Amino acid sequence: MTLTSFISINLVISLIFLVAPIQSILSHTGLLEQICGQSPDYHLCVMTLRSSIQHRSKEDMTGFTRLTLHIMNDNASSTIEHVHKDYWQISDLEVKKALKYCLISYNRVIDTHLREALNAMEEGDYKIVKQIIHIIDLEIESCNNKFKNLTISPLRDTNRYMQNLCSVTVSVVNHLIQRYQPT
């Protein structure tokens, strides 16, 4: 066997083992583009879902939805921790009152709404998931409104991020509804 033949055979063998993973990544990238192209926040959607594609060999819209729900849960949890830390450092009583309201809202998001959304995902009831995400969005908007007439809004960026995650999640869920549930 010549060196050229040996290299050619190794190249063919290597390509056989590389083609499937490359095709998988390309199909997931196409799915990501399809989902995020219709999302109101394209860049957040891509950033959120791209890591899922890179770390899992198989992903679909159901997995993307679960991922966004878990990211929302993590964000809500860190927001609660942030409020607990900063609450005592704030002297403005109206800001404290607003933070306390938001703390209750974020706890409700985690303890009730996200839990219900994940249960609905397990049952394949994507319309309920979508409704729950809208409820979460309303909870966060209500939190935002508590700071409306105040001099500071310590949760403005966090709330905006959470609402953007809600939009991304609804976009993914809409794909699930179109695909798996009749209208």
82 C-beta neighbours (distance < 10 Å), count:
15
Q: How far apart are CA 163 and CA 145, in angstroms?
A: 13
- Sorting pLDDT into bands at 50, 70 and 90, what band is 73? very high
H helical segments located in the chain: 3-37, 42-55, 61-86, 93-108, 115-123, 126-145, 156-180
Higher pLDDT, 112 or 168: 112
pLDDT beyond 80 at 97: yes
90 C-beta neighbours (distance < 10 Å), count:
15
Where do the domains of the chain lie, and which CATH numbers do they carry? 3-180 (1.20.140.40)
Report pLDDT for 181: 58
**What are 53's two structure tokens?**
């594609």
Report pLDDT for 17: 40
Closest CA to 42 of 174, 171, 179, 173: 171
Q: How far apart are CA 100 and CA 94, in angstroms?
A: 10
Do 79 and 27 meet the contact criterion of CB atoms below 8 Å apart?
no
Q: On the CB side of 137, how many CA atoms lie within 13 Å of its CA?
A: 14
Cα dihedral: 70, 130, 153, 91 (round 10):
-70
State pLDDT tens for residues 113-148: 999 999 999 999 999 999 999 999 999 999 999 999
State pLDDT tens for residues 9-42: 433 443 344 333 333 333 445 666 777 777 677 7
